[in-house]
Amino acid sequence: MSSSPLTATPTPLLPAKSKSPPSHHPLLPHLPHCTSLRALAQLHAAAVKSGLGAYPAFVTRLLTLCTEQGAAPAHLAYARQACAAAQAGEEGRQAHGVAVKTGAADHEYVLPTLINMYAECGDTQSARAMFSRVPDGDCVVSYNAMITTAVRSSRPGEALVLFREMQAKGLKPTSVTLTSVLSACALLGALELGRWIHEYIRKAGLDSLVKVNTALIDMYGKCGSLEDAIDVFQGMESRDRQAWSVMIVAYANHSYGREAISLFEEMKKQGIKPDAITFLGVLYACSHSGMVSEGLQYFDSMRESGINPGVKHYGCVTDLLARSGQLEKAYKFIDELPIKPTAILWRTLLSACGSHGAVDLGKRVFERILELDDTHGGDYVIYSNLCANTGEWEEMNRVRKLMNEKGVVKVPGCSSIEIDNRVHEFFAGDGRHPHARRMVDQVIEQLKLVGYVPNTSQVFHVEMGEEEKATSLRYHSEKLAISFGLLNTSPGTTLRVVKNLRVCPDCHSMAKLVSMLFNRRIILRDLNRFHHFEDGVCSCGDYW
DNA sequence: GTAGGGTTAG
């Protein structure tokens, strides 16, 4: 423990978020009458419920009382929740100040809370400062807090580095560590590591915990191994809503719409009530399996289940309509929504215009997007590609010019491959990664040998004949084809490789081909994360 | 004290 706890007060201070608080806090006058910590907790809960939990004067007063009454570590948690909820960095700092005053700041229960609080307020630096104060040897929970934070901020690689560090120190991971690390694996598509963790979980006897199993299902689902996800799900003794939901999403991700839906029906039969996210999974499943009418029915049935549709549900319905080619209907749907449409909704439609070659509507949609958000590089790319594909060269040039004028930042598309426990990431237009070059070259060669034409995501369904199958396959290929080949090996050659490996015969043979090439299991998936690529070294090289 | 699920995207 440090003898000068004040040095723990972080600098520089984050500017306090200028959320103008309401002039009156109905619960504030009650605070002084709370004579027990329990009463304080209740009042705090009420404040959070009313949305005024982070009202600065309220938080300050709460903290003062906590101090007076000998703040137990748990009370800092109330403050943390309140501060995090409002991203109130300043009030969080006050909570920290209270902790320092009461000598609780270095308490083994308090440090993780502080780490988490700063992380949730976006102050990574202070979170790290707190972490560095954790003495070695008794810091599993603090590690957990850091790992969780990294995962939540989409930095799975960092989470894995911390996990390794923990192990090197001989710290025993808990179920919390393992669920977080599994989430990191899911984000990275790191199946081999995920399996290793699964083995560890079995040996540690943690494989009956619902949360752990849910994380496993999610990891397997996102890493391309649906069978393993099903195995875990079926092996569970009890399943809660979340477990059912992840399994539904896993099916959906693999384009098993029917299975996703029968699971949903089964879930309801067993008396588990779906929530908003379960419905998202169901809608997602429908839109990615071409089940338009079913999707619309489920959308309509949401209110009967007492759930109000949110933007994301609208997004799924837009996708459902647009992907199936009902572009005008999708346009009307967005236009007539009870809420103000977001750029994402229009973007969903724009992307479908792209795959359906609908320039005219695409133009209208593109304009709607620009009204809302003209900083998103992807919109310009999709629209200008659409123009190029339909021969609208003038329009294409205009868009490209516009893009330059606006100085839009292009975030490159990113794909990743796991080879021998190592996740490699590749970025659009960057062919410097040694594995990437070799792989793309070889894959292209092999594809040519079997008569596979690059850039053929549209070709898949053409040969199928049957209308329904054709539509269904188009979903697979459009959704699942990843722009692995954005690494152009020769001018004009774009290769697309399929993400989820067992959706259709074409995809399957692709996967087989790729794994034959390397004689080992390979996972391909797309990630849209931003990483730096310096001196020819991919930052993912350190992950595992 | 720390933990699991969610729309679009070249």
Q: What is the pLDDT of residues A387-432, one digit of tens each?
A: 988 999 999 999 999 988 988 876 555 445 555 455 555 444 444 4
Residue A537 placed within a domain: yes
Q: What is the pLDDT of residues A339-352, one digit of tens each?
A: 999 999 999 999 88
What's the DSSP call for residue A307?
Answer: -
- CA–C1' span, A4 to B7, in Å? 49
Nucleotides of B under 7 A from a protein CB: 1-10
Distance CA A355, CA A124 (A): 40
pLDDT at A56 exceeding the cut of 70: no
Q: State whether A399 and A426 are in the same domain.
A: no
Q: Which of A410, A440, A473 is the last residue of a domain?
A: A410
Residue A356 placed within a domain: yes
Residue A374's contacts (CB-CB under 8 Å, 6 or more residues apart) are A406, A408
Q: State whether A427 and A405 are in the same domain.
A: no
Q: State whether A535 and A432 are in the same domain.
A: yes
Cα dihedral A388, A391, A392, A394 sign: positive
Highest mean pLDDT among A172-181, A186-195, A422-431, A475-484: A172-181
Distance CA A216, CA A232 (A): 7
- CA–C1' span, A406 to B4, in Å? 41
Looking at the DSSP bridge assignments, the partners of residue A11 are none
Residue A114 confidence class, pLDDT cut points 50, 70, 90: confident
Minimal CA–CA distance to A192: which of A529, A518, A541, A521? A521
Given this model, what pLDDT does residue A29 score? 73
- CA–C1' span, A350 to B8, in Å? 9
Into how many domains does chain A fold? 2
For residue A415, say whether its CB is under 7 Å from any atom of strand B: no
For residue A310, say whether its CB is under 7 Å from any atom of strand B: yes
CA dihedral A124, A130, A135, A137 (to 10 degrees): -40
Q: What is the pLDDT of residues A506-543, one digit of tens each?
A: 233 333 333 333 333 333 333 322 222 233 222 332 22
Looking at the DSSP bridge assignments, the partners of residue A479 are none
Residue A227 confidence class, pLDDT cut points 50, 70, 90: confident
In window 323-342 of A, residues with CB < 7 A from nucleic chain B are: 342
- CA–C1' span, A516 to B10, in Å? 28
- CA–C1' span, A156 to B1, in Å? 22
Residue A190 confidence class, pLDDT cut points 50, 70, 90: confident
Given this model, what pLDDT does residue A121 score? 73
Residue A384 placed within a domain: yes
Query: Rounded to whole angstroms, what are the CA distances from A32 to A35, A44, A48?
Result: 8, 13, 18
Distance CA A8, CA A530 (A): 32
A405: domain range? 311-410
A502 or A10: which leads in pLDDT:
A10
pLDDT at A485 exceeding the cut of 50: no
Residue A210 placed within a domain: no
- CA–C1' span, A299 to B4, in Å? 25
When pLDDT is averaged across residues A456-460 and rounded to a whole number, the result is 28
- CA–C1' span, A177 to B3, in Å? 7
Residue A55 placed within a domain: no
| Alpha helix segments (H runs only) across A357-484 | 359-372, 377-389, 393-406, 434-449, 467-480
Residue nearest the C1' of B9 (CA based):
A378
Looking at the DSSP bridge assignments, the partners of residue A498 are A481
Residue A405's contacts (CB-CB under 8 Å, 6 or more residues apart) are none
Residue A429 placed within a domain: yes
Tell me the one-letter amino acid at A201. Answer: I
Residue A33 placed within a domain: no
Kindly state the helix (H) or strand (E) to which residue A42 belongs, with its residue range. Answer: helix A37-49
A179 or A324: which leads in pLDDT:
A179
pLDDT at A315 exceeding the cut of 70: yes
Given this model, what pLDDT does residue A63 score? 61
Q: What are phi and psi of A534, to 5 degrees?
A: -120, 145
For residue A74, say whether its CB is under 7 Å from any atom of strand B: yes
Q: State whether A429 and A534 are in the same domain.
A: yes
Query: Rounded to whole angstroms, what are the CA distances from A220 to A190, A204, A224, A254, A408?
Result: 9, 19, 6, 11, 36
Given this model, what pLDDT does residue A521 score? 32
Above pLDDT 90, what percent of chain A?
A: 36
Distance CA A484, CA A29 (A): 60
Give the distance, in angstroms, between the CA of residue A518 and the centroid of all CA atoms in the same chain: 29
When pLDDT is averaged across residues A58-68 and rounded to a whole number, the result is 62
Q: What is the residue whose two structure tokens read 């792989």?
A: A439
Residue A38 confidence class, pLDDT cut points 50, 70, 90: low
DSSP E strands: which ranges in A494-535?
A: 497-498, 523-527, 533-534
For residue A151, say whether its CB is under 7 Å from any atom of strand B: yes
Q: State whether A367 and A434 are in the same domain.
A: no
Q: Which nucleotide is nearest to A274 (CA to C1')?
A: B5
Q: Which nucleotide is nearest to A209 (CA to C1')?
A: B4
For residue A73, say whether its CB is under 7 Å from any atom of strand B: yes
When pLDDT is averaged across residues A224-240 and rounded to a whole number, the result is 92
In window 189-228 of A, residues with CB < 7 A from nucleic chain B are: 209-215, 218, 222
When pLDDT is averaged across residues A133-142 and rounded to a whole number, the result is 77
Residue nearest the C1' of B8 (CA based):
A348
Distance CA A78, CA A265 (A): 39
When pLDDT is averaged across residues A483-487 and rounded to a whole number, the result is 26
DSSP string, A119-179: HHTT-HHHHHHHHHTSPTTS-HHHHHHHHHHHHHTT-HHHHHHHHHHHHHTTPPP-HHHHH
Looking at the DSSP bridge assignments, the partners of residue A101 are none
Given this model, what pLDDT does residue A71 score? 52
- CA–C1' span, A470 to B3, in Å? 42
Q: Residue A337 sits in a domain of what CATH number?
A: 1.25.40.10
Q: State whether A471 and A491 are in the same domain.
A: yes
Q: Which nucleotide is nearest to A376 (CA to C1')?
A: B9
- CA–C1' span, A433 to B8, in Å? 28
Q: Which of A360, A391, A410 is the last residue of a domain?
A: A410
- CA–C1' span, A216 to B4, in Å? 8
Q: State whether A330 and A401 are in the same domain.
A: yes
Q: How big is the CA angle at A147 (ends A526 and A105), to the nearest 5 degrees? A: 155
Residue A469 placed within a domain: yes
Residue nearest the C1' of B5 (CA based):
A246
When pLDDT is averaged across residues A124-142 and rounded to a whole number, the result is 80
Q: Which of A354, A388, A410 is the last residue of a domain?
A: A410
Given this model, what pLDDT does residue A62 score? 65
Residue nearest the C1' of B6 (CA based):
A277
Q: What are phi and psi of A457, to 5 degrees?
A: -60, -30
- What is the end-to-end Cα distance of chain A in Å, rounded? 32
For residue A344, say whether its CB is under 7 Å from any atom of strand B: yes
A32 or A472: which leads in pLDDT:
A32
- CA–C1' span, A413 to B10, in Å? 7
- CA–C1' span, A213 to B4, in Å? 8
Q: Which nucleotide is nearest to A108 (CA to C1')?
A: B1
Helices and strands, number each (H, E), in chain A: 25, 7
A537-538 and A533-534: which strand pairing? antiparallel
Q: State whether A456 and A533 are in the same domain.
A: yes
Q: What is the pLDDT of residues A281-301, one digit of tens each?
A: 999 989 877 789 999 999 999
Q: State whether A483 and A514 are in the same domain.
A: yes
Q: State whether A374 and A404 are in the same domain.
A: yes
Residue A440's contacts (CB-CB under 8 Å, 6 or more residues apart) are A431, A484, A485, A487, A489, A495
- Peptide linkage before A10 cis (omega within 30 of 0): no
Q: State whether A532 and A447 are in the same domain.
A: yes
Q: State whether A347 and A423 are in the same domain.
A: no
Minimal CA–CA distance to A224: which of A423, A79, A89? A423
In this predicted structure, which of A273-277, A318-322, A529-533 has the lowest mean pLDDT?
A529-533
Looking at the DSSP bridge assignments, the partners of residue A424 are A417
Q: Which nucleotide is nearest to A382 (CA to C1')?
A: B10
Q: What is the residue whose two structure tokens read 């998202």?
A: A280
